[in-house]
Structure 1
Amino acid sequence: MAALAEASPRVEPLGAESLSWQISGSRTALLGAGSALILQVAHPVVGAGVKDHSIFRKDPWGRLDRTTDSLFTQIFGGEDAIAEAARLRDFHKAIKGVDAQGRRYHALNPEAYFWVHATLFMSTVQIEKYFGTPLTRAQQAEFYAEWRQLGLVLGIRDRDMPETLEGFEEYAEAMLRERLEDNETVRDVLYAVSLREVDPPPWWPLPHGVWRIVGRPLGRSAFGLTTVGLLPPQVRELLGMKWTRRDELALRALGAVVRRTVPLIPAKARLYPIAYQAKRAA
């Protein structure tokens, strides 16, 4: 088995001057959750670990909340980011086993550990493209450099991460074409994001019946569109998903609505709590 991800020498967490602070923390991140999770679990190690050890099928909203809390603690937490990185490594030490094809896996496998981190970079770029302000090439390079710094905080080894944005793009293309696979966990995630049997999220303000009649159908439509639309074409092909020009226009129309309306929402409601508190204190 490959060596595990290990704690790096002291690395400074991201600060208020970083581009990551500027573009992260909005609840629009929810729109990229489905595609990011599919990219993650399509990796055989991650897919097996989630299948055998995760409770996301029973508690999808709780799983999503814990993931976003962890991610934004890494970005906005300052010294707390160091502690969160250590907690994540400790948590994943016990996630290991043998998958359905007889392959041994461990969650701290360096390739898989970085891939999860990489998908969040890719997802953020896509969210900004469709629902925020698209990043320029220079901004993407800056953001990747910061994401690499955050990877070191998480304990990902320097040699396991491409040094430049160009190197990362070559790495991502190879992963998408050669390493990812359709598997049972991918199908479970696709079913979960369809919201067919999912209760309303904890923050849903209206009666359960309104969720069933209005919230669930609207959520299913939006999540279905963003989950498929934000995936790289290679992965849509792998999973047998169709994506038409009409679908693309619908996604862009949704993006236009989000860009116009989200800035009108007060920051306290628009941002996740840790992001709101950090930006307010900066």
Structure 2
Amino acid sequence: MAPPVVRGTAAWRYFGDFRDALLAGQVLVLQVAHPVVAAGVRDHSDYREDPWTRLMRTVASLSIYVYGGTKGAQVEASRLRRLHRTFTGTADGRRYSALDPGAYAWVHATLVMAPVEAQRFFGRPMSTSELAEYYAQMCGIGRILGIRERYLPQTWPEFEQYYREMIAGFGPNETISTLFETIDTVGKPFARMSDRRWSKLQKGYSAGQMFLIRATLPPELRDRLGLQWTDEDARKFARFCRAARMLGTVMPPSLRTLPMRVVGKLNVWLRERPWAYRFFVRS
């Protein structure tokens, strides 16, 4: 039985750490590198037309898994499975489903790995005991989400091996190219923001996102995608990591995870009150 996610445990401390957001682009690339996920996103996602709303929905959903309690996670898991059951289509002449067990498990795997890598890059790497507790908790969440046992390696070292083997089989695809184009041309996040102001911010935002993607992708996949990485880039990223590490060091763990925990609790409250959810959240 998985350890509960309560205050002070590994998943509580690390899953919602604000530095995890620095890996958002990397996680998206890794997810759509899977051919079934790529096809599903290509055919059914509206992220190209409205990436900011899609981002907020994703953050809200993720927050419930860890910080919404077991009941909240179960409700969100049922909602996701109902939603993804309708995402079917054809890719390379073969039928696919968004609930394909391997693809569904891979999306979860990228979310399991992201906080571990965020700490390795921008914080203090998790200890062996922390990794064991964290992975056991995330496996428990995976079971709630409906991940099959065969896709949940029993130990963290086995999970790392599975993760490396999956990445070894990935390469360029149309959806990754579209994702990069979307990052490069993303529209303003708020309708009231002036076009002039966003035009000044957009270039820096896009360049920063692509830099973090190039910096944090596994080097072998970065090379296969044709993304350049220079010694100067490595030095710049090292300086950025030191700054992020220092910022995290001066903040207590409870503050590092506060935004995600608040979003998780708020979303549980909203989903228990459909009238409020419909009022505050666009369908």
The alignment status of 1:237 with 2:219, answered yes or no, reads: no
Indicate whether 1:211 and 2:182 are aligned. no
Kindly state the Cα deviation for residue 265 of structure 1 after the two structures are TM-superposed.
7.9
What is the CA distance between 1:272 and its match in structure 2?
6.1
Q: Which of 145, 148, 168 is the equivalent residue of 1:177? A: 168
The alignment's TM-score, normalised by the length of structure 2, stands at: 0.84
Matched, 1:59 2:47: no
Which residue number corresponds to residue 192 of structure 1? 182
Per-residue deviation, residues 183-216 of structure 1 (Å, max 9, x unmatched):
111111112223xx222324x9975423321x22
Is the 1:192–1:198 contact (alpha carbons within 8 Å) kept by the matching residues of 2? yes
Aligned 8 A contact 1:25 1:276 in 2: no
- In the TM superposition, residue 88 of structure 1 has moved relative to its aligned partner by 0.7
Give 2:241's aligned residue: 255
Number of residues of Structure 1 aligned to a counterpart in Structure 2: 264
Give the fraction of aligned pairs with identical amino acids, expressed as a percent. 37
SS in structure 1 of the partner of residue 96 of structure 2:
strand
Which has more helix, going by share of residues? 2
8 A contact 1:38–1:186 mirrored in 2 = yes
Q: Is contact 2:88-2:98 (8 Å) kept?
A: yes
Q: Which residue of 1 aligns with 2:75?
A: 83
| Cα distance between partner residues in 1 of 2:82 and 2:67 | 21
Moved more, 56-65 or 119-128: 119-128
SS of 2:198's partner is: helix
Query: Match of 2:229, SS?
Result: coil
Provide the C-alpha distance between the structure 1 equivalents of 2:264 and 2:202, rounded to a whole number of angstroms.
32
The amino acid of 1:252's aligned partner reads A
After superposition, the CA RMSD in angstroms is 2.7
For residue 26 of structure 1, report the CA deviation from its aligned partner.
3.6
Whether 2:212 is the aligned partner of 1:226: answer yes
Deviation at 1:57, TM superposition (A): 0.3
Report if the CA contact (8 A) 1:28-1:131 is conserved: yes
Is residue 123–residue 248 contact of structure 2 (8 Å, CA) maintained in 1? no
Report the Cα distance in structure 1 between the residues aligned to 2:25 and 2:260, rounded to whole angstroms. Answer: 22
1:11–1:152 CA contact under 8 A, matched in 2: no
Deviation at 1:102, TM superposition (A): 1.1
Gaps of 5+ in 1: 1-9
Q: String of CA shifts for 1:208-231, please: whole Å, max 9, x gaps.
A: 423321x22321232111111111
The amino acid that maps onto 1:235 is: L
Aligned match of 2:40 in 49, 69, 78? 49
